[in-house]
Chains A and B, each alone.
Chain A
Amino acid sequence: MNLVSQTAKSMSMPNSSVSWKSGEPDPFPAGLRVLVVDDDPTCLMILEKMLLNCLYEVTKCNRAEMALSLLRENKNGYDIVISDVHMPDMDGFKLLEHIGLEMDLPVIMMSADDGKSVVMKGVTHGACDYLIKPVRIEALKNIWQHVVRKRKHEWKDIEQSGSIEDGEQQQKQTDDADFSSSANEGSWRKRRKDEEDQVEDRDDTSALKKPRVVWSVELHQQFVAAVNQLGIDKAVPKKILELMNVPGLTRENVASHLQKYRLYLRRLSGVSQHQSGLNNSFGGPPDATFGSVSSFNGLDLQALAATGQIPAQSLATLQAAALGRSTTKSGISVPLMDQRNLFSFEGPKLRFGEGSQQPQQSNNNNKQINLLHGIPTTMEPKQLANLHQSAQQSFRGMNMQVNNAHGNQSSSLLVQMSQPPQSRPQILNDTNVNHLSRLPSSLPQPTLSGGMPSSAALARNGMVDNARGAVYNSVSQASSMVDFSITQNTDLPGNSFPLANNPSAITSKGVLREEVNSEMKGSRGFAPSYDIFSDLHQHKSQDWELQNVGLAFNASQHSNMQGCLDVQPSVLVHQGFSSNQNSLQNRNTSVGKVMFSAGEESGHGNAHNIDQQLNTFVADNSLIKAESLPEASCQNMLFPEQFTQEDLMSILLKQQEGLGQVANEFGFDGYPLDDLPV
């Protein structure tokens, strides 16, 4: 090979990349703003050239401190940072940590050091990628994906606008959407910045206009040291402040930084989670009610959750997100991201649809998708949709139980329904969490108050409320949940199972009825509703078996527990997990406690907890929860109107008449009820 051929080669390379780009309707990723940090001028120059050849906009910088100040000066000036690990003035990981804390940009680490521990360190510090030097241009051509991923993470509404079932098309669409998002990005960032500023303003006022604190590397290290000394769960601003002993620093400064730090830790814990939100983006039907939802989803949930600047409506969303995150801890990442989108009060139908779809999508279980998907689209009144949701929730809960207790069901129906959990229990767990977290919003105040004082027989409580006709759906929800939690405690089983079963059965009836009404308007809803129904009954039988199964539960179930616990506070089921606390894993316990307090709107978080990281989440959860409860109860007021005593009675009656009749009534001949081990 001679130089000529080399030159030709070198010419063809950028050209080809140009033509590749010109094939795209959008110039993205051309113009991606990359900040490269490396103390080695040779590397820096090569990287710059490579990045330029990728048509990125490159800023290079040979010192970490300088990079940090560049980033601070212009928080919106860069899309991604590539940083060397070994730098004399500041360790690349420290830079990474700061960027994670302050601007939350995707950071790619690079080093000639390919030792596993170093790479791992990069990952645990939140690097989105780790490139081994010498860096090849092939690797750099791809880095825009991290930007997309990160943005996707934050720009949920864009995903929703791309509502196509087919995964590939969807991917494509969302990518396109993202390109456009890069155009909007400025405003988005601004919005987010505004939020932050608002918070800081608020902090300022509460601190009587104290000068804004710049968290220098040293200050942050002091802070981290203090937090570590206290333990992340016990680290409260006041104590941290005392330990840091920095003149001029206020409790508010520390509190705000602590919040950021916790979010940062949380992000780290969800390193893998960015991901598949992309592929799985839901085929939520583009519905009118959706617009508002998406606007909430667009916000950076983490940031918002921390700042408390969230409009009441989006709290549910946050709740879901927070929950999702806590579950992420337990190793489930895929659907969690999606879940964030699900919850907000505006569009129950869609949420529902998505909620049900997600797990299945990730499971590639098309059958299920269709089934559940149908429900939301046929729903008209919001209340109905809500009902369905709770029905769905109970269904989920049951599924979980089924799955956990015994993966194999004899009934074909049930098998069908429990497919996702079987193949991937964790996903279902997520869903469960999801739905459960949604529950509080559909709970009427009466149920709440009624449930709280009642003592040991939780399930019975559910029953009672049911009879009252307040909102039986949610009640049954509760009861099923109770069932669930109790089944995990070997000591409590006999008590609650039979009781719980009844309400759930009743509920299923109620759901069915309601669905039928709504179905008159739609086309697709029948099968799903039926399935829910049958599943509820399935559940019934399973409960008994669960008793036998006893404590043979695995980790996946624990994550489910979290979900259950979340719901319970607002439903009347506190007893359930207070007893759980003794027998369940620490993680569950802590969640339970916090949720409990959240339910009572005390929201004082996690004081005596064990699992540190979980604690963080929990703390956040409880905060959000506490805030969102009032909102939830407001919405619930609609419920009682929907269901009269007669409804309940007739439902009860019908239940007595037997399942088969109900099925016939609705024309669900396709499903042999006889198979159900009721």
Chain B
Amino acid sequence: MDRNQLQRQVAYMRKSLFDQGYLDEQFIQLEDLQDDANPNFVEEIVSLFYSDSARLIRNIDQGLENNPPDFDRLDDYMHQYKGSCSSIGAKKVKSECTQFREYCRAGNAEGCMRTFQQVKQEHTTLRRKLETYFQMARQAYT
């Protein structure tokens, strides 16, 4: 593929990630931090996020198995996870997290479970999209 075309495609992908609400301006903050000292900073952060959040997701999954679940603990986990999401600008996941925490506070176990499925789904979707994006960006700019 032509390099210019590839670059245009990367730009388009990036734009659609914002347009479709997957990412917010925090992601731009990360991009701004990327410099010669850390040329792959964004990608590193994102992969750190995914490796670390796996632990939290596991914790929440386990927490939801309890009946009744310990909502405080779930809320606490979700708070952490949400904090991570927000720091990479994962907008969609973050809003699902907010929903989850509302159910937690309401003591709605069913709502929690349902929302958490969505959280995980958005989590995975974003991961896939970002992976593709980073991969194409590497091709286009190296």
Contacts and interface: CB of A to CB of B under 8 A. Distances in A.
Is the contact region of chain A dominated by helix, strand, or loop, or is it mixed? helix
B34 A45 contact: no
Given A10-B33, A43-B84, A3 B48 contact: no
A136 interface: yes
Interface string A66-101: 000000000000000000101000000000000000
Interface string B64-90: 000000000000100110111011110
A10 B35 contact: yes
Contact of A10 (B8, B31, B76, B140): B31
Contacts of A211: none
Contact of B41 (A2, A49, A133): A49
Contacts, number: 96
A52 B87 CA distance: 17
B7 interface: yes
A13 interface: yes
Interface residues of A, number: 32
Given A2-B10, A3-B141, A49-B41, A40 B83 contact: yes
A133 B79 CA distance: 11
A14 B7 CA distance: 25
A43 B140 contact: no
A512 B50 CA distance: 78
A116 to B, nearest CB: 16
A95 to B, nearest CB: 17
B36 A4 contact: no
Given A86-B76, A86-B79, A137-B29, A42 B49 contact: yes
B108 interface: no
B35 A134 contact: no
Contacts of A647: none
A227 interface: no
A40 B11 contact: no
A624 to B, nearest CB: 45
A282 to B, nearest CB: 41
Contacts of A6: 31-32, 34
B80 A3 contact: no
B54 interface: no
Contact of A40 (B33, B38, B76, B80): B80
B31 A112 contact: no
Interface string A97-114: 000000000000001110
A41 interface: yes
A135 B33 CA distance: 13
B64 to A, nearest CB: 19
Given A1-B15, A45-B48, A133 B33 contact: no
Interface string B18-38: 000000001001111111111
The 3 closest A-B pairs by CB, nearest first: A2-B11, A112-B83, A134-B26
Given A133-B87, A137-B29, 16 more contacts: A1-B15, A2-B10, A2-B11, A3-B7, A7-B34, A9-B31, A10-B31, A14-B35, A40-B52, A40-B83, A42-B45, A42-B48, A42-B84, A49-B38, A86-B80, A133-B86
Interface of B: 7-8, 10-11, 14-15, 26, 29-38, 41, 44-45, 48-49, 52-53, 76, 79-80, 82-84, 86-89, 137, 140-141
22 contacts: A1-B11, A3-B11, A3-B137, A3-B140, A3-B141, A6-B31, A9-B32, A40-B83, A41-B52, A42-B45, A42-B53, A42-B87, A45-B48, A46-B33, A46-B45, A49-B38, A52-B37, A86-B79, A111-B83, A133-B83, A133-B86, A134-B89
